[in-house]
Amino acid sequence: MTSESIRKLDAIDLEKLSIEDVKAMKNAGLRQALLNVLRAQVEGNEHKFSDHNSSFIGDR
């Protein structure tokens, strides 16, 4: 991998973005994806880490 591609894979800090900022985004795919990330950040993962690969019960 190039250093550029590694840099692009570094984690992105979402703290500076509010949910209103995200909802106002024009790119609908990005908007939906970031809303999911924000939801996951708020809800946290104190109770559950990982879904069973061979099941989809949609409890997130």
Partner 1 sequence: MTDPIPFHTFIWKVASRCNLNCSYCFVYNLRDTRWQDQPAFMSQAVALKTAQRIREHCEAHQKEKASIVFHGGEPLLGGAKHLAAMLSAIESVFKDSGISLTLGMQSNGLLFDAEIGDLLLNRRMSIGISLDGPPEINDLHRVDHEGRPTSHKLESKLALLTSDQYRDVFSGFLCVVNPQADPVAVTKYLLSYQPRGIDFLLPLNNYDCRPVGKESDLAATPYADWLIAAFDYWFSRGVETKIRIFNSLINMLFEVPSEVESLGLHPVDLIVIESNGELEAVDSLKSTFDGATKLGYSVFENAFDEALKHDLVVSRHVGAASLCLECRSCPLLSTCGGGYLPHRYSSSNGFDNPSVYCADLQKLIKHVHTTVSSALNRELLESRQ
Q: Does 20 bind partner 1 (CB under 8 A)?
A: no
Q: Which is nearer to partner 1, 8 or 19 (CB)?
A: 8
Q: Does 18 bind partner 1 (CB under 8 A)?
A: no
Q: Give, in order, the Cα–Cα distances in Å from 49 to each of 12, 26, 44, 45.
A: 21, 31, 10, 6
* Nearest alpha carbon to residue 19 among 33, 38, 32: 38
**The one-letter amino acid at 25:** M
Binding site for partner 1 (CB under 8 A): 1, 5-6, 8-9, 11-12, 14, 21, 24-34, 36-37, 40-41, 45, 47-60
